[in-house]
Amino acid sequence: MSEEFRIVALVGKYQSADVAEALSRMAGFLQGRGLEVWLEAETAQSVGHAGPVRVASFDEIGEGADLVIVMGGDGTMLTAARTLAGHTLPLIGVNQGRLGFLTDVPHDEMLIRVGEILDGLYLRERRSLLEVELWREGACVHSGMALNDIVLSRGEIGRMIEFELHVDGEYIYSQRSDGMIIATPTGSTAYALSANGPILHPRLAGIVLVPLCPHALTYRPLALAQDSAVELVILGSRDAVVHCDGQTLFEAREGDRLRVVRSLQGVTLLHPEGYSYFAVLREKLHWSALPHLS
C-alpha cells in the first residue's frame, strides 16, 4: 500500500440514508487497511453517529488529512472543493448522486477503486477555480470562489437585466439578457452547457462566458485566456443576483462592479487508473446511445 495516504477524511451528502450506509462501509474498509479515518463534522451530525472515527472540521481536515473521499453528488464535491481550496490535499469523488461529472467513482465499485488508488494506481488532475469580488462605491462588499461557475442573473424578477462587459479593462459590449455565466473548463459541462456554451477540456486553461437568453442573437459564447480579468458593471435600476456554483448567493445593485479572475488556488482530483474524460462525456451526455424502441 502507498505510504502517501495515512489519514483519510470522509465527507458525505447531508441527510441521506444511502450515503450514511456507504460512509460506514467505507470507514470500515479504510480502517481494515490500517488507515486513520476522520469524518467531517457536519457529515457526522447528519448521519447521526460517527462510530470509531475522529470527527473533524473542514479546517482540521485541511491541515491534517492526507486524502479526502467525497461521497455524494457533484454538489457535495463542489462544496468540499471550495472549502478545501486553500489546502493541497487531493479529493476522490464517489458518486451517490445523479449525474456525477466530478464524482466519477461508481458507488458499486467504490471499495475496489478506492483500494486501487490507495495502492498507488491513480491519475492526478488539477482543476482551476474562479474568484469573484463585488465592488460597490469603491469597496469590496462580497467575495466568493467557484469550481464550476460564477453566474450573474436576474434572480426572481421577470424582466431582463442590463450590464456592461469588460475584459482586461477593455469595454466589450453592453447586454440586456437574463444574465451571464462565467465558467471554468470544469463548469463548461454544467449550467454553461445547458445555455449552449462550448465544452472545454479540463486541461484547457481558459474561461468561458455564456450569455443567458440575450435580447439580441448576435451575443455568442466567448472563450478567454486563463489570465483574463472579467468585469460586469450593473446598469439600470433592476437589482441582480450572483451565484457561486449555484450554492452561495449575494445581491448586486445598479453601479456595482463584478470582477472575476482565475484563482491562484486549485483543486486536485484523483481518478481511478484508466479514467477518461471523453468516456465520462460519452456516458453522461449519452453520446452514441442506441435509440429507444417503442
- Return the active site residues: 74
**Would you state the cell numbers that stand for residue 208, as one nine-digit string?**
468561458
**How does DSSP classify residue 259?**
E
Integer Cα distance of 260 and 257 in angstroms: 10
Of 62, 114, 112, residue with least CA distance to 93:
114
Integer Cα distance of 132 and 142 in angstroms: 8
**Would you state the cell numbers that stand for residue 146, as one nine-digit string?**
467557484
Q: Where are the beta strands (DSSP E) in the chain?
A: 7-12, 36-40, 54-56, 67-72, 91-95, 105-106, 122-136, 139-146, 149-153, 161-167, 170-177, 179-183, 206-212, 222-225, 230-235, 240-244, 248-252, 257-272
**Would you state the cell numbers that stand for residue 135, as one nine-digit string?**
465592488
Could you please report the per-residue DSSP string of 148-198? SEEEEE-TT-SS-EEEEEEETTEEEEEEEESEEEEE-TGGGGTHHHHTTPP
